[in-house]
């Protein structure tokens, strides 16, 4: 394991566990409220983007713990995952934009509490931070770990807000 990765091992274990737990909570919340959530044209897309970002945080945390992993190899792995999750987040963002442009989401209060660009930023921020971190790591620069950490934390913060929506707001 690269010496820099050793310094991050406790953080990576914590991020992987917290992200996995939150992703599980969101999946359970969706399964409990599935009929109500499917009425919404935007919430399923936002939920998918959040679960994708959390899954990427779990994967990045676990990949960072692999023995004898080079920073460049880790960077490639994170970059590939971030581009995949980023693609799904972009599709979710397009769905959010179309819903905001066409009509109001029937499950959310009127007027919307968060302007659509804010929702789009929440979907795209984490994958973008992971992409930046992955690119920096590919060059062998340890500073990419800070960007990956920021992507992981952003995924958790954004997903906590979404978990409130899929647990509480859809039932109002």
Q: What's the pTM value of the predicted model, to 2 decimals? A: 0.87
* Residues above pLDDT 90, as percent of the chain: 59
36: tokens are: 């109500």
Question: Residue 109: which residues within 8 A CB-CB, separation 6 or more?
Answer: 169, 172
Torsion of CA 26, 27, 29, 31, to 10 degrees: 160
Q: pLDDT tens digits, residue range 100-157?
A: 666 555 555 555 555 567 777 888 999 999 999 999 999 999 999 999 999 999 999 9
Gap between the Cα atoms of 138 and 144, Å rounded: 9
pLDDT tens, position by position, 15-36 = 999 999 999 999 998 999 898 8
């Amino acid at each position: 394991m690269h010496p820099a990765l050793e310094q991050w091992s406790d953080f990576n274990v914590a991020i992987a566990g917290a992200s996995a737990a939150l992703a599980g909570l969101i999946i359970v919340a969706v399964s409990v409220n599935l009929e109500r959530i499917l009425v919404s044209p935007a919430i399923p897309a936002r939920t998918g983007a959040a679960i994708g970002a959390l899954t990427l945080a779990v994967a990045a945390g676990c990949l960072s713990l692999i023995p004898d992993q080079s920073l460049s190899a880790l960077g490639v792995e994170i970059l590939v995952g971030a581009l995949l999750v980023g693609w799904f987040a972009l599709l979710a963002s397009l769905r959010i934009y179309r819903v905001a442009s066409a009509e109001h989401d029937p499950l959310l209060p009127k007027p919307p509490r968060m302007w659509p660009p804010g929702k789009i930023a929440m979907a795209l921020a984490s994958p973008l931070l992971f992409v930046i971190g992955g690119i920096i790591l590919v060059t062998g620069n340890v500073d990419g770990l800070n960007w990956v950490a920021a992507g992981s934390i952003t995924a958790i913060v954004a997903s906590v807000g979404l978990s409130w929506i899929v647990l509480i707001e859809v039932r109002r």
